[in-house]
């Protein structure tokens, strides 16, 4: 597939994705791992096109409901090694989700909506 695109943290945070924004693409891998983020930046790309999202090895305490609700094509979601105590209920909207890594967090239970991700 020649129209796949991956964005690294530097491209998104420094705004170096302008060339890719002019061209349509089908899938995006978004890697924001290891940045010591306490909160998530507001990306300017279409979140519905993201299939793999890596937010691991940060200091995130919350994943916003509004974020997961917009990740309609997410297949892989890696949030390991953060400070998460829970996942948003909107995780159940991720009907294409196949891989979810929440290890190394403070999560004691998953939302009941998780069973919608089959």
Domain CATH for 17: 3.80.10.10
d(CA 33, CA 6): 14
This prediction's pTM: 0.78
Structure confidence by residue, pLDDT tens digits, 56-111: 999 999 999 888 988 999 999 999 999 999 999 999 889 999 999 999 999 998 89
Range of the domain at 82: 5-116
How many domains does the chain divide into?
1
List of residues 6+ apart from 14 with CB closer than 8 A: none
Cβ neighbour number for residue 28 with a 10 Å cutoff: 22
């Amino acid at each position: 597939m020649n129209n796949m695109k991956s964005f690294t943290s530097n491209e998104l945070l420094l705004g170096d994705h302008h060339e890719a924004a002019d061209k349509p693409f089908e899938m995006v891998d978004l890697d924001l791992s290891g940045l010591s983020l306490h909160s998530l930046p507001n990306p300017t790309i279409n979140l519905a096109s993201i299939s793999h999202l890596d937010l691991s090895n940060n200091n995130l305490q919350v994943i916003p409901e509004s974020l997961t609700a917009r990740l309609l094509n997410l297949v892989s979601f890696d949030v390991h090694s953060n400070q998460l105590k829970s996942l948003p209920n909107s995780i159940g909207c991720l009907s294409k989700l196949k891989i979810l890594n929440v290890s190394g967090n403070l999560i004691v239970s998953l939302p009941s909506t998780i069973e919608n991700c089959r």
